[in-house]
Structure 1
Amino acid sequence: MSTATPIWQPSQSQIDASQMERFRHYVNDSLALTLSDYEQLHRWSTDHPDQFWQTFWQFAEVIGTPGQRLLLNGDKMPGARFFPDARLNFTENLLRYRDDRIALVFRDEAANRVALSYNELYHEVARLAHHLRHLGVVAGDRVAAFMPNRIETVVTMLAAASLGATFSSCSPDFGFNGVLDRFGQIQPKVLVAANGYRYNGKVIDCSDKIAQIADAIDSLQQVVVVPAFDAVAQVHHSLAIGWQQALDNPARSLSFTPLPFDHPLYVLYSSGTTGQPKCIVHGAGGTLLQHLKELRLHTDIQRHDVLFYFTTCGWMMWNWLVSGLATGATLVLYDGSPFAPGPEVLWQLAEQEEVSVFGTSAKYIAALEKAGYRPAEHHRLAQIKGLLSTGSPLAHEGFDFVYRHINPDLCLSSISGGTDIVSCFALGNPIKPVYRGQLQCPGLGMKVEVFNEQGQPLQQQKGELVCTAPFVSMPIGFWGDDDGSKYHNAYFDRFDNVWAHGDYAETTAEGGLIIHGRSDAVLNPGGVRIGTAEIYRQVEKVTAVQESLAIGQQWQDDVRVVLFVVLKPGSELTEALRQQIRTTIRANTTPRHVPAKIIQVQDLPKTLSGKLVELAVRKVIHGQAVTNTDALANPESLQQFEHLPDLQC
């Protein structure tokens, strides 16, 4: 029985107008069922995954033929195959609209703006696809993008996918070795790259790096250079041509190669912070169905909406955002820092572009709060009906901040999934209430449970987040993993025939989920498992602390909790501040959560998508090598953690 009070509740009119509610009625009418609420709809979707995905295919009017067989080996993970006889083309579904509604808007720090209609986007994709075909790009080839979040990146993906080529992207803040660790494994035939990008008020020249990459990857037949900045040097390489040169052809129409459901669409990469990144291959059909489900049902994106997500092309949320084209909505792309020239930049964008669904990270919301910036005091934001947060767990105080200082009447969706599934296990829901600190629900078709270490289901207790039935967006496998052993070991080695995702979580009485951090970063003092997010939530309440990172240090035959803190400018880690941090943690958690050591550092290591890298810090303080620092945005920060005197006593 739930005793929590919702922080937001949809009105009956909001519920009735939602696509989730329309889908529930569609299922009942189509299959003569009487599903009365989301819980029953979800149970049906996981008990009958073949019926669910077939019915959603029809509801979403997916372009393609599903075939007669819906699911093979439905009791096996890995091994299950959805729609084995289906034929479809990913790009054809994303370009179903070809009218004058704006499809893409590009904005950057310098207030530059470019817009493209659905009709213009279609013809731009047609011209690039014609060029790629002329180069000899065919189904199964790879096309890579070393690009900022620009319109040309979207055009490249759509052109490649129209031919059946597999697309892969890295953001331009990756170092040379980081790019080579990724693209070098998949051997692309074509590279599309921007000559520079803008971040924090500066233009960063990428021309030399592009030439280096072109020299290092033998498979490349051409490098198409996007002239993002006139002032940046040209790329001098025998394989390089300009973007406009590639589009300089009379192609008027686009042909769509029909492909199998599991045809490789994307290669995404694990963070690579503990070794060479894994190349995770995702299929076109599963990605399309899963994204359409999440965008239309769980986020309620409709044709009139404007969708924005703050992301780079090195994070799976870019792939998720771009699938929004299939809904006919307008997508807003942003390149730059979310705090340049100041904290107002994304909210000014949201107001000017009339963004109705705003996506960001929990870290960004926490940073806004720390900066004391209250968006609703400066901008008209009533049009925002949904706000999405991911990347790390959103603290309870983050929920309060959104409703107090952004918009009191929106569906705040803390969502969780990952690169591994190019989608989410837990999502928002426009027909359910929002509770502080909770992800609203498991996604339709996702049989999400929480297991203890023995593989037994837990209710409202902390444990391993797992999925106990196959789902459409499971990876096809890992690139180069011919026998499937690496894929199996990554997700199915822990529990037989069960996907173990690596998150530490618990279910709630309200039907939602709480994520307590990554399970490989779980602290274990005295044998008690503690999620790092439980500590971060409390530390965020301490005004002087900018951000923090907790690890477990092996100490005297046990584990002790060590907390590293970055303080706001002008603050000092006095004994009084240490005591305030400890008291705040103890008062709201347990004595086990209180760190044995609190140490000030200048910076914390993060991935290029902004996630804290707890494992790398733990390795450094235990004298172990961090083998792939190119995966970090700030690898130099690791040097602070070497030979710290405070850790020797």
Structure 2
Amino acid sequence: MAASNLTAFRQAASARFGLRLDDYDALYDWSVAGKEDFWRFLWEWAGLKGDLGGVALADGDKMPGARWFPEASLNYAENMLANAPDGEAVVFWAEDKVKRRWSGGELKAEVSRLQQALKAAGVGKGDRVAAVVPNMPETLAAMLATASLGAIWSSCSPDFGAQGITDRFGQIEPTVLFAPDAYWYNGKSHDIRAKIAQVLTELPTVKAAVIIPYVNETPDVSAIRGGVTWGDFIAPFAAAEPSFERVAFNHPLFILYSSGTTGKPKCIVHGTGGTLLQHVKEHRLHSDVKPGDRVFYYTTCGWMMWNWLVSGLAAGATLLLYDGSPFAPDGNILFDYADAEGMTLFGTSAKFIQQAEKSGLEPIRTHRLDTLRALASTGSPLMPENFAYVYRAIKTDIHLASISGGTDIVSCFVLGNPDGPGVGGRAADGGARHGGGGLRRLRPRGQRREGRAGLHGGPSPACRWASGPTRTGRSTARAYFERFPNVWTHGDFIERTVHGGWVIYGRSDAVLNPGGVRIGTAEIYRQVEQLPEILEAVCIGQEWDGDVRVILFVVLREGLTLDKALEDTIRKRIKENCSPRHVPARIVAVKDIPRTRSGKITELAVRDAVHGRPIKNTEALANPMALDEFRERPELEG
């Protein structure tokens, strides 16, 4: 077997700097202690294009405030297209409805024509381009064309409501908007042209609304202000070699958004150099992505994992894009995709893995998966039982990485270690803190464990929270650096294991506190969701009689009811495997649980609904009607 990228990088760095980087821990320690050399060498080793300048780090003792490569100039799109495969660069499946393939040459040609069209529409350096789009090839091309001009890209999923779209894009004053005529989900098409027309009434800065034919070959765009089809938008321009506007290292590249479950979504502005370098490191070193690999992540364009996925072009990988339900029509579509397209990296959410097990899927018996080397999971903690399921029912010889990061940094804190031992049930299958920063666990007095990601000067986080792309706020400092000076406080519960791995327990702000004892909801979920009768659960603390009591909501398998025997089983399992403090005071069956559009359960929204408080932004939810089940429940009144 060929050596991993991680091994090759360690050996090259050892030779270059006269070091002994014999294992991952040695490399990690050097990447923190010698971070300026590490990041500059990563750039050179990866063969990235641009000029880093003579200064690697200015004001390096400040966090936030450190300035990386202040003399640098580069372009994100240039680095993506320079490494895109000459053969298939992009493969696209839309459930079982649409399939398309673009070579590297076809992708470059499309980017070139779009680049010229965007210029003609008035887009230049620093302008914003917004998109309400599926994860499809045209989306990738539009993003690369935007970045090639030094403009700023921002996208969301087409299933967002009109208010959710305007809450986001209304803050950034886009010049051009991209959207499809419709999209596919669970075997059905959903036309969004009327919604786009409504959104445009709130976005007066948009000069052109480019409609991508997806469900209809020649969609009517006459009712859309500034509406033009994709074909007509690029028709006046012949394909040529794309040009690239090189920008400063921290010039804005992407605008992402907070989830919006506690109010209007906040803009998070990510810089060009920090995003590129961090993604290159995560793909090549932590995920061992090599030229010729075929990389997939199940994601919408409103989740940071889309930005992470498409950066795989810089590693020379073919991108496998998917739009639609991950379980249409029979639950096997993503595993079918893996077999048919020779997938090497399969990225998904912990919830997908849990649902696949609940659905009785056993791809190890029904699919080859012979090219698949790695499986990455994120979005929520992956429990030890989920690890066991992957190795038992999906593939025995696979590198399983439970990764953790966030929209705030458009990258990860904890990732895979391709050279590490397989340790079932451990985050990152053997454990790996991200190189170039520092992950450490800080414990305030009296607290058992709370994860604090201390990024000691790495180019990521490359974000600036702002009300717009030109007005940087102070939210980053307030949100992450006030509690522990000079250390990014991420706020997940996390534990270092004797194996050197990391176990992630979930958000500390969702912790229950009955009788003053702190309880993590993930520990309850781990027990409850192993029961075959239960598909899903959400747990909250209800204010009660001057204290807090634990309330557990469960979604049962079809045809089952929550009787006393099942309640006793749930309580007994939680008591025996957690503690008596974890046992819920009330257990309530519901039909659905509210979640964000990236699939995360919204405990805080459920808690507000139970207490009769208004939900500040239901547009952030994929299924806001599910909240109705949690209001005025008689079971919670006594």
The two structures have a TM-score, normalised by structure 2, of 0.97
Which residue of structure 2 lines up, in the alignment, with residue 397 of structure 1?
Answer: 385
Q: CA deviation at 1:465?
A: 2.6
Aligned amino acid, residue 432 of structure 2? C
Contact 1:282-1:473 within 8 A present in 2 as well: no
The 5 A counterparts of 1:407-556 are 407-439=395-427, 440-454=431-445, 462-480=449-467, 482=471, 484-556=473-545
The 5 A counterparts of 1:268-307 are 268-307=256-295
Alpha-carbon distance in structure 2 between the residues aligned to 1:508 and 1:322 = 32
Find the partner of 1:336 among 324, 340, 349: 324
- Asked if 1:158 corresponds to 2:149, the answer is no
- Asked if 1:323 corresponds to 2:311, the answer is yes
1:260-319 CA deviation, whole Å, 9 max, x = no partner?
Answer: 000100000110011001100000100000000000000000112111111110110000
Q: Where do 4+ consecutive residues of structure 1 move more than 4 Å? A: none
Q: CA deviation at 1:479?
A: 2.4
Which residue of structure 2 lines up, in the alignment, with residue 70 of structure 1?
Answer: 56
1:504-559 CA deviation, whole Å, 9 max, x = no partner?
Answer: 21221222211111111011222222221111111111000000001111222322
Q: CA deviation at 1:129?
A: 0.3
- Asked if 1:308 corresponds to 2:296, the answer is yes
Contact 1:90-1:162 within 8 A present in 2 as well: yes
Q: CA deviation at 1:111?
A: 4.4
Alpha-carbon distance in structure 1 between the residues aligned to 2:455 and 2:215 = 49
- Asked if 1:377 corresponds to 2:371, the answer is no
- Asked if 1:112 corresponds to 2:101, the answer is no
Contact 2:124-2:151 within 8 A present in 1 as well: yes
Alpha-carbon distance in structure 2 between the residues aligned to 1:476 and 1:331 = 25
Q: CA deviation at 1:99?
A: 5.6
Contact 1:382-1:407 within 8 A present in 2 as well: no
Q: CA deviation at 1:561?
A: 1.3
SS in 2 for 1:501: coil
Contact 2:466-2:473 within 8 A present in 1 as well: no
Aligned amino acid, residue 536 of structure 1? Y
Which residue of structure 2 lines up, in the alignment, with residue 124 of structure 1?
Answer: 110
Q: CA deviation at 1:648?
A: 1.7
Which residue of structure 2 lines up, in the alignment, with residue 615 of structure 1?
Answer: 604
Contact 1:149-1:334 within 8 A present in 2 as well: yes
1:597-646 CA deviation, whole Å, 9 max, x = no partner?
Answer: 11111110000111000011111222221110011011111111111122
Which residue of structure 2 lines up, in the alignment, with residue 189 of structure 1?
Answer: 175
Number of residue-to-residue matches in the alignment: 631
Alpha-carbon distance in structure 2 between the residues aligned to 1:527 and 1:571 = 35
Q: CA deviation at 1:232?
A: 8.7
- Range with bigger deviation, 625-634 or 98-107: 98-107
Alpha-carbon distance in structure 1 between the residues aligned to 2:85 and 2:383 = 42
Contact 1:453-1:464 within 8 A present in 2 as well: no
Which residue of structure 2 lines up, in the alignment, with residue 41 of structure 1?
Answer: 27
Contact 1:308-1:357 within 8 A present in 2 as well: yes
CA RMSD of aligned residues (A): 1.5
SS in 2 for 1:500: coil
Q: CA deviation at 1:74?
A: 1.4
- Asked if 1:133 corresponds to 2:119, the answer is yes
| Alpha carbons of structure 1 residues 143 and 206: separation in structure 2 relative to 1, 3 Å | same
The 5 A counterparts of 1:140-219 are 140-219=126-205
Alpha-carbon distance in structure 1 between the residues aligned to 2:139 and 2:231 = 14
1:420-468 CA deviation, whole Å, 9 max, x = no partner?
Answer: 11010000111001322221211111311111235x9x9xx52133315
Aligned amino acid, residue 199 of structure 1? Y
Q: CA deviation at 1:37?
A: 1.0
Contact 1:205-1:232 within 8 A present in 2 as well: no
Alpha-carbon distance in structure 1 between the residues aligned to 2:209 and 2:58 = 41
- Range with bigger deviation, 480-489 or 388-397: 480-489
Q: CA deviation at 1:233?
A: 5.5
Find the partner of 2:352 among 364, 372, 388: 364
Alpha-carbon distance in structure 1 between the residues aligned to 2:521 and 2:185 = 30
Which residue of structure 2 lines up, in the alignment, with residue 4 of structure 1?
Answer: none
SS in 2 for 1:116: strand
Alpha-carbon distance in structure 2 between the residues aligned to 1:508 and 1:629 = 38
SS in 2 for 1:104: strand
Q: CA deviation at 1:471?
A: 2.2
Alpha-carbon distance in structure 2 between the residues aligned to 1:543 and 1:94 = 45
Alpha-carbon distance in structure 1 between the residues aligned to 2:51 and 2:218 = 47
Q: CA deviation at 1:51?
A: 1.3
1:307-347 CA deviation, whole Å, 9 max, x = no partner?
Answer: 11111101100000000011111111001001111111111
Find the partner of 1:255 among 231, 243, 247: 243
Alpha-carbon distance in structure 2 between the residues aligned to 1:32 and 1:634 = 56
Contact 1:207-1:232 within 8 A present in 2 as well: no
Which residue of structure 2 lines up, in the alignment, with residue 571 of structure 1?
Answer: 560
Aligned amino acid, residue 473 of structure 1? S
Q: CA deviation at 1:494?
A: 2.3
Alpha-carbon distance in structure 2 between the residues aligned to 1:179 and 1:98 = 31
Structure 2 gap segments, 5+ residues each: none
- Asked if 1:560 corresponds to 2:549, the answer is yes
Which residue of structure 2 lines up, in the alignment, with residue 6 of structure 1?
Answer: none
- Range with bigger deviation, 328-337 or 531-540: 531-540
Contact 1:604-1:612 within 8 A present in 2 as well: yes
Which residue of structure 2 lines up, in the alignment, with residue 349 of structure 1?
Answer: 337
Alpha-carbon distance in structure 2 between the residues aligned to 1:166 and 1:502 = 29
SS in 2 for 1:186: coil
| Alpha carbons of structure 1 residues 450 and 232: separation in structure 2 relative to 1, 3 Å | farther
1:184-220 CA deviation, whole Å, 9 max, x = no partner?
Answer: 0011000011111000111000010111112210111
| Alpha carbons of structure 1 residues 401 and 232: separation in structure 2 relative to 1, 3 Å | farther
- Range with bigger deviation, 54-63 or 485-494: 485-494
Alpha-carbon distance in structure 2 between the residues aligned to 1:590 and 1:463 = 19
Which residue of structure 2 lines up, in the alignment, with residue 3 of structure 1?
Answer: none
Alpha-carbon distance in structure 1 between the residues aligned to 2:218 and 2:541 = 46
- Range with bigger deviation, 507-516 or 252-261: 507-516
| Alpha carbons of structure 1 residues 519 and 98: separation in structure 2 relative to 1, 3 Å | closer
Q: CA deviation at 1:75?
A: 1.7
